[in-house]
Structure 1
Amino acid sequence: MLIAEGLSVGYGKTVILKDVSIAVPRGQMTAIVGVTGGGKSTLLQTLGLLARPLASGRFDYIAAPDSSPLPLATLRQGQRNHLIRSDFAYVFQRVELVNHWDARSNISLPLLSRGVPQPVIDETVRELWDCMHFIRPMDGRPVAQLSGGERQRVGIARALAAQPTVVFADEPFGSLDPHTANDVMEHFFRVLGERAITGVLVTHDLEAAWNHCQQEYQIHETSLERTR
């Protein structure tokens, strides 16, 4: 679970959201919606430790039911990096894959960085390949040659490879056509649900938020309100 109370978030001295309070329950999907430029991505990056909050307040992570709250706002950079590698994963709209690598190599990346044995990597990639329902072989071809939907599936599989506790997704379907978006969305939410992974989704798609997320927060100017 992630809990933030009384946080201000932004960049430098620029405050984008003031006095933010949000609770992300374990094993559920939480949507953050709002207008373009309202601060959704900034809030996601703050919750995912990719950006720091501007003001003091409560900002805790509880990894398991019997774990003590870990105060995230005061973590040193090394501690933040460790948590990012061990517990958190990210899916971005532009995917951000290694374009000259093939799909399997991209999916393997989080495990390679941890020194996981190759047989375990092979089995994990094979399982995710099946979960994401890739419809054609993609070995050996650079991911730059794949379709948008295929690239986004590779990005989701890469995020899940290290078995994260929380997945942060920033408009992961926004660059796809409606048919492809619905297809990728189906696999994304299904896999997270099957694995009981906590999810935070930034989206403009109110229908997706309603159908797939257990709770919803909306940004109004510089404030955040729970709407469901």
Structure 2
Amino acid sequence: MMVMKMRGFHCRGVLAAAALGLSSISSAQPPADTRAEVAKSPTVIDGPQEFPADAKLAGHNGTVLVSAVITEAGLVEDASVKQSSGSVILDQAAVDAVKNWKLTPALDESGKAVRTVIKLNVEYTQAFSEKYSCRQFVIDSDWFDSERGLSRREELRIYKTLRGMFVASALRRGGAASLSKFDFDKNWNDLIESCRKNPKTNFSDIWRKSL
């Protein structure tokens, strides 16, 4: 089974609820004895794919298992969703992409090219920081402060992570080996206010500018 991966960038929001449903594209099946003749499976020569912009903005991630009919010339004759990613957008994008892929043909034991069916994993992933919006950061930080209190901010994972990044950034610039809690709290509060003013901005874009 082959795996193709795609990472998205500049996405907003936390993971959205995945759209339901599968692609309705059908797949023709070759005779069973054709598949039994295969001694060497096809390999992908050129497998272009794009991460759909609307799926990025919705925070969709997932892997689509695509069943593809490969001709003797290594062309994709037909493709369909074998197992859904949970997002109809990504499912359709994967099928559309695979239809344009070029592969080496399957070979039988004599080295002759034969028509066959293979399964391909088409993966669409985004790092958490690429999906995390300023709006969600403000919601998360405000909720934590209201539930735990300002004095317990250091228990917040993102707080500890960002403080470490600020310290590392200061060291790279030849600054102090550490930041006091007071100094970092000011940076933290400035970051929250910047995100309040730019709720649709990707959170990682804001904090990178603050380093």
Could you state the TM-score of these two structures normalised by the residue count of structure 2?
Answer: 0.28
More helix by share: 2
Could you state the TM-score of these two structures normalised by the residue count of structure 1?
Answer: 0.27
Q: Which has the higher contact order (CA 8 A, sep 6+)?
A: 1
The structure with more radius of gyration = 2
